Amino acid sequence: AQSVTQPDIHITVSEGASLELRCNYSYGATPYLFWYVQSPGQGLQLLLKYFSGDTLVQGIKGFEAEFKRSQSSFNLRKPSVHWSDAAEYFCAVGARAGGTSYGKLTFGQGTILTVHP
């Protein structure tokens, strides 16, 4: 079964600083990979996703993520953080066709981002 680890529970950055949120996954093949953001009291919004092809994926709100097969990682980055980026970020992995996990998303436990002015 697939699993997702987000090593950082809470990250604090200053506005304008760069950001990298870590995500490591465990899966027997190349998975589908996602990053979602959850603002307080809100549902999850998809930031970006990776299926295949170019390992650097661009998303909304200026975010990007890079799939590194050798490291089983899919880290989320943003060159300059805005105060409105403060939220909780979830990495998720989806199993490809075949097997009992097909069609299911597995989420990491989330990373809370605090942005200081």
Partner 1 sequence: DTAVSQTPKYLVTQMGNDKSIKCEQNLGHDTMYWYKQDSKKFLKIMFSYNNKELIINETVPNRFSPKSPDKAHLNLHINSLELGDSAVYFCASSQDPSGRSLGMKTQYFGPGTRLLVL
- What distance lies between CA 97 and its chain's CA centroid? 21
Under the criterion CB under 8 A, does residue 41 sit at the interface with partner 1?
yes
**What letters, b where the CB count within 10 A reaches 16 and e where it falls short, cover 10-39?**
ebebeeeeebebbbbbebeeebbbbbbbee
Nearest residue (CB) to partner 1, 53 versus 117: 53
Kindly write out the interface string for residues 71-100 of this chain, putting x where it contacts partner 1 by CB under 8 A and - elsewhere. Answer: -----------------x-x-x-xxx----
- 22 sits near partner 1 (criterion: CB under 8 A): no
> Residue 78 or 90: which CB sits closer to partner 1?
90
List of residues contacting partner 1 (CB under 8 A): 31-32, 41-46, 49, 51, 88, 90, 92, 94-96, 102-107, 109-110
